[in-house]
Each structure stands twice: as structure tokens, then as C-alpha cells.
Structure 1
Amino acid sequence: MVREQTVLATSYPQSYYAASANDARARPPLLGHVKADICIIGAGFTGMSTALHMAENGYNVVVLEANRIGFGASGRNGGQIVNSYSRDIDFIERQYGQKVGAEMGRMAFEGGRILRRFIKDYGIQCDLKEGGIFAACNRKQFDELVEKKKLWEKHGHEQLELLDAHAIQQYVGTERYAGGLIDHSGGHFHPLNLVRGEADAVESLGGTIYEESPALHVREGDKPVVHTEQGSVEADYVLVAGNAYLNGLLPELESKAIPCGTQIITTEPLPERVQRRLLPKDNCVEDCNYLLDYFRLSGDGRLVYGGGVTYGAREPAKIEALIVPKMLRTFPELKDTKVDFAWTGNFLLTLTRLPQFGRIGTNIYYAQGYSGHGLTCTHLAGKVISDAIQGQAERFDIFASLPQHSFPGGRRLQVPLTAMGAWYYNLRDRLGI
């Protein structure tokens, strides 16, 4: 079977992350035919975590990236370590049973530990800072955070602390919130520097990464072959890890998820006194709305503020016009602050809002659809996929057992139906119901 894909233009978006990357050196494209134990399509967090786990176990790894390392969501996101999944463990238990819920609960807090190990073991400089806050915009959301704390503690996660409306102001300099929940195992970092640091680690262990080498088609078989414009890779295993940036490589997966854009701005560097007033303990924050806001301070003292969703990967014409009002609703004192960077990036939303893992045949794996909750789960995915390839597939099979529903109406109706659903939940957030 041949799977077609269009060739993409290559360059990083004009983001703060690209402008402040530690090392933006390019890798060459693939030229000619090579062999590997595993060929990974996509050099984002899923691909790099899998590549690093495989290389640590002595496998010959080749990674193909259509653009640059971290070009997609992995190099554009809010940079926040948020545990669990976009749908929490209680939803999984209700829908898919106690056994699946318990297994997913055991894995829900592992991804953050994996990425911290990578940072420590390979000396990756990515401005890692500790502590993440869920901020409740109303009493209903605070009550839900009380239940979240109980739920996560039931599954063994103890690093949590509730904050009432007064206490949260010691962490976030605004009167906007009715309370919050600190996850002391959360945190934040420069995501592009992390994924590029992981790429360096893969190469230090003998792996090879080719940039500007989009996979044009995959020939299935006992030894699948991935073809690019100027070369090919023959491997024992293939992992497809392009997420929202596959552009037709696996058409049968496209009906199961929809690309969505989120927008981020970054201010000019703020005076230290302003930084201390906005985020006195330098935690990252996300609110509890369905269409949530998220923000943090960068390593050089800028406010990184994101929020909103555009469906169908549409890029809005004026990102600042969408995000600055959100920032000023939280921090009105920044009304005269200059915005230095504004960009958008795509994530992949599934109907269940749970990630989609699976196999095509016996030796082509895929992982996608983290639904805006990918920083930790992508790192977990790398470990789970690596274990499965090495013969320990129990945890992979738990993920693969989750239903992968197609969106009703196919591609034509995905965007309007999803936008209607988002409008409904946004209205509920506004009304506090």
C-alpha cells in the first residue's frame, strides 16, 4: 500500500521560542537509502521520546522530520507540565471500566518524571521552573478542583495543595480567581529548547535525524520502507508521530481527529518588580475554563500568555487582537506593555479528547491526538511505544484499546460541529454552570 503526502515548506514560525533557541543549527535532509531498527516520522516530543528510549536500549534509530526539529506543537506550545490527560481519570473509569481507569491512572503522572529525567541526564538547558497552578474562575470550578485533588490522590499523586481565593493571590497577582490547586510536580520550561536538547541526546547515542525530509509514502511489509523525496529508510519498525502535521500520510487517521490552532503572545522583558507582582513564586498557571487561558514567565522575564482555539488549523489574521484582551482581563496593569512575539500552532483534537495509539499491521505504530494536553503524555508515549516494540506491550495495548471514533460528518462537518460544541462549553464557563 502506498500512502501519499504533500511536501511542506520548511522554516520555524516567528515565535519567541525560535528567536531564543539555544541551538538552531540545521540537520541535512536524507539522501539515498539507509537501514535502521526503527524509523520515526516526526521530530516532536513523541518522536524524540521514543527515539531516546530506543537509543538508550541500543537500537539503531533514524528520525525523519518534514521541517525542523520541534517545528509543530512541540516547539510552539505554552511550555507547561500538566499531569494526567485532557479527559481525567474519573471519566476514563466511567466510560471504559475500573481496570482501564486504574491502568491509565498509574501512567497519568509518569510523563513529567520522564521529561525531568531527560533534562537531568543529558544536561538540557531549557529554563525548567517548578510548580503549576490550576486557577478556578468561579466557585463551581473550585469545587471541581477539590474533587480533582481527591481523584489524583486516590491514584497516588500527593504533591497537591488547595488555595482559597485569598491564598491564590500570593501566587497570582490578580483578583480574578476564586481559588486554585497547586501541583508541585508541575512546572514550565522552554519547549523548543527541550525538544532540540532531546534531539542532541538521541544523536549522542548514535541516532540520526534528518530535517527537511517529509515522508512521502510508506510501503508496508515485513521490512517497511519510508520514502522521502531524495531517499528512503528500510526498518524493522516505523512510528508515525506527526500528529497535526501529517498532511495526508495516513488518510485513515484524518477522520479520527481534527487539527486546531492555539495562539500565544510574549511580552517584552518585564522589570523584576512587575514579574514579582504578577507571579510572585514564578509558577505557571492555567485556568479551568473549557477554552482556557494559560500563562507563565519565561527564563528572561517575559510574560508568555496563550489561549483560545481556532478549529481546522485556521491561522487568525490578528493574534494579538485575540490574546491581549485575555491578558489584560487577568493583568490590567500590562495595558502599556509591548508585545514582542505572537504566533499560533496546531494540536490535534480527538472526539473523546483522549490520545490515539495503535498499530497498522504488526510493525507500524502511531500516536496522536493529545487534545491540547500533550507535553507529559508525549513523553509517556515514547516510553510506552519503546516498551511495546521490545515485547512489553501491556501498557501500549491499554491506550490502543480506547475507542477511536471518527468525527460525525467527516472532514466537511468537523469544524462547524466542533466549533458549536466549543461555543456551548464557553457559554457554560461564562455563566459559571
Structure 2
Amino acid sequence: MENQAHVESWYAATANQQLEFPALAGTSKADVCIVGGGYTGLSTAIHLRQRGYSVVLLEANRVGWGASGRNGGHVGTGQRAGQQQLEKWVGLEHAQALWQLGLEAVDTVCELIASHRIDCELKQGNLHVASKAGDARELREEVEQLNSVYGYDQIRYVDRAELATMTSGQGFHGASLDAGARHLHPLNYALGLARAARDLGAQLHEGSRVTGYREGDKVTVKTGNGAVTCDYLVVACNGYLEKLEPRTAGRIMPINNYMLATEPLPEALARQLIRDDTSMTDTLFVVNYWKLSADNRLLFGGGESYTRRFPADIKGFVRKYMLRIYPELANTRIDYGWGGTLAITMNRMPDFGRLSSRVFYAHGYSGHGVPIATLAGKLLAEVISGSAERFDIMAGVPSHQFPGGTLLRWPGLVAGMLFYSLRDRLG
């Protein structure tokens, strides 16, 4: 049994429950088998059990072991791509439906936390800061569009002078403040979902890597020590899909992203960094994202890599991005540094779909996974139970194979990312 321990991180060090689930041994039957114990799989299990389906979930390591237990904890509104871009791709009516689903995604996270009493440091608000003057103009236009066209009144523009009273962060030209956004402790949220799925009667198995599956009258899903026979299969592996499903693998790219946690900061310094305890993100292509923990640590994410190896010194790798924004933290101790793998798509929109009448998938959240992967579970439960309309709103956004598929996507992505990171630096 693999069952690797959670990566060493501030999240793992502050996990508020220790859940363990047995590896699959022998044969099992269920209405639905789910591969992957992150937000997508756990939310799917919860929503299917609420509809009365029997569920077996198979996780190769531990529930929340991947990106679901390591991410920045931001629960942003809308979709990962902006509404203007979505309008160009799918038209205004479809874009408005996608916006509403993005709001519902945040509501779904909050409802699951409330109804299952998940203790995960849920807080409110995101401050999205413009790293270039041109970005500030675009943020102002975006706020006006969301206010007028989408009727969204939770967001407002913050000019440079006001922004300077809200954060000591350097190099920003303005911001949008979204009161509808939330942020949380991502691993404790994942563990809370796992507990809820278990309590609702889902069968969860850790240390149960799926080696393959085949379709016949039923779907048979195989692990090293067992098999599940089911009517429906949900593939919810995201950045850890590897070779399990070649038909969808070419539409996502696994990339590595990194975070650090400082020592606990004095209250005055914490308020200087982020006055109102919101989460924060910038507008760079290789985005920086940060927030404060309940014990006033700065949790800062920055930098990416595109090989399987993580940097030898993750703390030092991320620290340089943090100090560009907060030079006053030069003497602050860094207590934790960790990395994780997420999946991005060509257009940064998630890839939802069906591979047959029995096999469904959702992945490629591109850094917007806490809300949208949670929503994916709700929509996967709907489509399996025969209501495809809302699932198809997400599935109807055009998705594209990376050029060269899985074989050549790495060099193409690295070339593209080098271009964009150069553009970030040159402004």
C-alpha cells in the first residue's frame, strides 16, 4: 500500500483531524466509482450520496494529498478566464451562465463548510492588485463590466492612493476588491469533505492507485490489490492523471507551483501587509498569491517549474518573489516551503466532459480549483443522475489539445512560459 504521508507543509502541520481509510482489497461493487481523493472526487462523492447512489472512491495516496491539500486556499468568484474573453469564445448568454456557476461555486464551498461543520479558517474578500499601469485600466474596466452587465455589486475598483492604505505591497497601480470571494485552509477543507463523504456512507480507500479500467456491460476499475465494478466512472485526477486516460491527458499540462509560510508575524506587521485580512493576487502571468493564516503567518505562493523535479531550496525559491512585494520581510524567518502539482489548460478554463455514457471527467482548473472543483462534484452528480444541462454549460467551453499532445506539450509550454515571464519582468 502506497499511502504516502502528506507533504511537509504548514497545512499538514496544522491539520485538525487525522483520517485514515483502508486500501481496496478484493472486489467491490458500486453505482459510481471515483478515481481521485481531491476536491473533485470528494465533492462528487458527497453530492452522489445525497442523491442515494452507492460510491467507492479510490485515492492513490491520502485524501487531499495533491493540490487540494497544498494550494493557496483562494476561493475566487467567476471563472479562471475573464468574462470579456468568455464572451468572445461562447457569446454573452453562455458567458453569463458561466459567471453564475462561478458564483454558485463559492456558495457551494460555503454551504458544504456550514452544513458539515468544517473547521477550515474561512475568511472573506480578495484584493487583486495591478502589477502594471495597463493592468489597472483593465481592472477598472472589468469592475465596470461586472457591475453593469452582470449585476455584480460585490466588487469595486481601488485606486493607487487607497490601495497604499490597504497594503504595504510594492509596485502596484490599483486593484479590484471582491467581497464575494473567500479564502480558507485548503487541507482542512479537504479533510472536512472526506469526513462528510464518509459519514454520508461513501466508501473511501487510500493507498489504492488505479492501474486501469475497461468498459463492458459495466465498468471495471482495477488497482494493484482489487477491483471495483460500477455503472459509472468519474476520473478526478487533475494534475496526477498521468497515463490513466490518454484521451484527455493531452488537454491538460501538469505544472508545479510553490509556497512558503513565514513565522507568525506581530499583529501590527500583519495588518501592514494586508490591512483587512483578505487574500491577495497580482496580475502577472505567472501569478503571485498570498494571504495570512489564523496565526498571522504570511502564506505566499510564487514561481513555477515545468519539470518533475522541485527546486532543492523551495523556501529560497519563493522568498525572492515575496521580497519584491514586501521588502520589509527581509529578516523574517521562513518556517515552511512546499510545492505541488496542478493542471492547466491551453485557455485556462477547466475541461469537463464525457468519454462515454458511463465515464465522466473534470480537470484542468488552472489555479481556480477550490471553488470550481467543488462545483464540478455537484455537476458530475447531476449529469450522472440524468440532468446534463448545467454540466454542459461547463463542458461547452471549447477545450484544446496542447500542440503535440502529451509528447511535445512540455517544450512548447516552457517556451511559452519563458516568453510570458519575460513580459512580466519587462512590464
TM class, shorter-chain normalised?
A: over 0.9
Q: 2:269 aligns with which of 260, 266, 274?
A: 274
Match of 2:316 in 1: 321
Query: Structure 2 CA distance, aligned partners of 1:152 and 1:427?
Result: 30
1:400 partner letter: A
Match of 1:89 in 2: 83
Secondary structure of the corresponding residue to residue 100 of structure 2: helix
Q: 1:289 aligns with which of 253, 260, 284?
A: 284
Query: Structure 2 CA distance, aligned partners of 1:170 and 1:69?
Result: 40
Q: 1:255 aligns with which of 237, 250, 255?
A: 250
2:404 partner letter: G
Match of 1:355 in 2: 350
Conserved 8 A contact 1:142-1:180: yes
Conserved 8 A contact 2:286-2:304: yes
Query: Structure 1 CA distance, aligned partners of 2:276 and 2:221?
Result: 48
Q: 2:169 aligns with which of 145, 166, 174?
A: 174
Match of 1:4 in 2: none
Match of 1:64 in 2: 58
Match of 2:190 in 1: 195
Most deviating of 371-380 and 188-197: 371-380
Q: 1:130 aligns with which of 104, 107, 124?
A: 124
> Residues 49 and 25 from structure 1, CA distance in 2 versus in 1: closer, same or farther, beyond 3 angstroms?
closer
Match of 2:412 in 1: 417
Conserved 8 A contact 2:238-2:364: yes
Conserved 8 A contact 1:259-1:313: no
- What's the CA shift for 1:381? 0.9
- What's the CA shift for 1:312? 4.0
Most deviating of 239-248 and 310-319: 310-319
Secondary structure of the corresponding residue to residue 280 of structure 2: strand
Match of 2:143 in 1: 149
Conserved 8 A contact 2:124-2:182: yes
- What's the CA shift for 1:428? 2.7
Q: 1:53 aligns with which of 44, 47, 72?
A: 47
Secondary structure of the corresponding residue to residue 109 of structure 1: helix
- What's the CA shift for 1:141? 0.8
**1:7-406 correspondence to structure 2 within 5 Å:** 10-153=4-147, 154-406=149-401
> Residues 57 and 411 from structure 1, CA distance in 2 versus in 1: closer, same or farther, beyond 3 angstroms?
closer
- What's the CA shift for 1:9? 6.4
- Give the TM-score, by structure 1 length: 0.94
Instruction: List per-residue Cα deviations over 1:46-97 (Å, max 9, x = no partner).
Output: 1111111111222212111110011111111001111222222221221233
Query: Structure 1 CA distance, aligned partners of 2:166 and 2:18?
Result: 34
1:96 partner letter: V
Conserved 8 A contact 2:79-2:99: no
Query: Structure 1 CA distance, aligned partners of 2:392 and 2:19?
Result: 37
Most deviating of 391-400 and 134-143: 391-400
Query: Structure 2 CA distance, aligned partners of 1:287 and 1:50?
Result: 31
Query: Structure 2 CA distance, aligned partners of 1:226 and 1:274?
Result: 52
Query: Structure 2 CA distance, aligned partners of 1:160 and 1:141?
Result: 16
> Residues 316 and 8 from structure 1, CA distance in 2 versus in 1: closer, same or farther, beyond 3 angstroms?
farther
Most deviating of 370-379 and 92-101: 92-101
Structure 2 unaligned residues grouped into runs of 5+: none
Instruction: List per-residue Cα deviations over 1:126-168 (Å, max 9, x = no partner).
Output: 0111111101122211111112213333223220121111211
> Residues 156 and 375 from structure 1, CA distance in 2 versus in 1: closer, same or farther, beyond 3 angstroms?
farther
- What's the CA shift for 1:273? 2.0
Conserved 8 A contact 1:81-1:375: yes
- Give the TM-score, by structure 2 length: 0.96
- What's the CA shift for 1:193? 0.2
- What's the CA shift for 1:295? 0.7
2:26 partner letter: G
Query: Structure 2 CA distance, aligned partners of 1:390 and 1:139?
Result: 48
Conserved 8 A contact 2:127-2:175: yes
Query: Structure 1 CA distance, aligned partners of 2:296 and 2:97?
Result: 39
Query: Structure 1 CA distance, aligned partners of 2:341 and 2:8?
Result: 15
> Residues 93 and 222 from structure 1, CA distance in 2 versus in 1: closer, same or farther, beyond 3 angstroms?
farther
Instruction: List per-residue Cα deviations over 1:242-296 (Å, max 9, x = no partner).
Output: 1111221112222221100001010111122221221121111000111111111
Instruction: List per-residue Cα deviations over 1:308-340 (Å, max 9, x = no partner).
Output: 221244422221222111111111111111111
1:419 partner letter: V
Query: Structure 1 CA distance, aligned partners of 2:151 and 2:33?
Result: 35
- What's the CA shift for 1:120? 0.6
Structure 1 unaligned residues grouped into runs of 5+: 1-6
Instruction: List per-residue Cα deviations over 1:365-389 (Å, max 9, x = no partner).
Output: 0111111221111111111111111
Query: Structure 2 CA distance, aligned partners of 1:316 and 1:78?
Result: 18
- What's the CA shift for 1:182? 0.8
Query: Structure 2 CA distance, aligned partners of 1:364 and 1:89?
Result: 30
2:254 partner letter: P
Identity between Structure 1 and Structure 2 (%): 39
Provide the aligned C-alpha RMSD in A. Answer: 1.6
2:234 partner letter: L
Match of 1:3 in 2: none
Conserved 8 A contact 2:19-2:191: no
1:71 partner letter: W
Conserved 8 A contact 1:260-1:314: no
Instruction: List per-residue Cα deviations over 1:212-264 (Å, max 9, x = no partner).
Output: 11111112123212111111111121100011112211122222211000010
> Residues 9 and 21 from structure 1, CA distance in 2 versus in 1: closer, same or farther, beyond 3 angstroms?
closer
Most deviating of 174-183 and 14-23: 174-183
- What's the CA shift for 1:171? 2.2
Conserved 8 A contact 1:278-1:331: yes
2:172 partner letter: Y
